[in-house]
Amino acid sequence: MGLDEITGGGLPRGRVSLVCGGPGAGKSLLALQFLVHGITEHGEAGVFASFEETAEELAKNTGSLGWDVPGLVERGQLAVEHIRVDRGELTAAGEYDLEALFIRLGHAIDSVDAKRVAIDSVEALFGGLGDNALLRYELRRLFGWLKDHGVTTIVTAEGNARELSRHGLEEYVSDCVILLDQRIRDENSTRRMRIVKYRGSAH
């Protein structure tokens, strides 16, 4: 996997990495490839938590790449969680509450003994949250929960070449931040990957 070469060994184990980029940059594909590669090359089961695509849609959208998502799920190597975000359910007594999400993620991780997790995309979870202080607190809580479970995680977020993410998430993923970019110049499309931050690496 080319990402392993660019980062000098891959993503930080047991920590959360943020993958930013605009629409069509390849964030979801990178996140799923990270899980498929972990299963096929390292024997590490994974969880794909999606706020947009169902398991069926994910299988159809990636079938042309040769990834047998249904087969991985059937063999208990991959768990796909499609999470429908309901603002009313996330708000308890006037406060934002992620406990239901933690329960679902925890169950999915335990069901396949996952070592890798991908969350796509965090914008769907926090996009309508206007309180920046609360947003940062909940992000810190989510990332802390993932670290406590010892899973190596990719979290995707909407961004562009000028802003890594809409909410300044890069401040709270101190270990690794990856920016994906797609640019068109002279009718030629070029995809780029930039490692913005990676502590503890030779990168």
Band of pLDDT at residue 95, cut at 50, 70 and 90: low
Q: Residue 26 in contact with residue 183, Cβ under 8 Å? A: no
Q: pTM for the whole thing?
A: 0.86
pLDDT of residue 59: 86
pLDDT of residue 93: 45
- Mean pLDDT for 93-103 is 72
> Alpha carbon of 43 to those of 77, 133, 201: distances in Å?
8, 39, 24
pLDDT of residue 61: 83
Higher pLDDT, 95 or 138: 138
Residue 63 corresponds to which tokens in the numbers above? Answer: 């079938």
* Helix/strand/coil percent split, the chain, to 5: 40, 25, 35
**Dmax over Cα atoms in the chain, in whole Å?**
54
Higher pLDDT, 87 or 142: 142
Q: In whole numbers, what is the pLDDT of the chain averaged over residues?
A: 82
Band of pLDDT at residue 23, cut at 50, 70 and 90: confident
pLDDT of residue 88: 57
> Alpha carbon of 169 to those of 9, 52, 73, 78, 135: distances in Å?
24, 20, 30, 27, 10
> Alpha carbon of 158 to those of 17, 61, 112, 190: distances in Å?
14, 20, 29, 19
- Mean pLDDT for 26-55 is 92
Sheet strands (E) in 139-185: 152-158, 176-185
Which range among 10-19, 91-100, 170-179 shows the weakest confidence by mean pLDDT?
91-100
- Mean pLDDT for 21-34 is 89
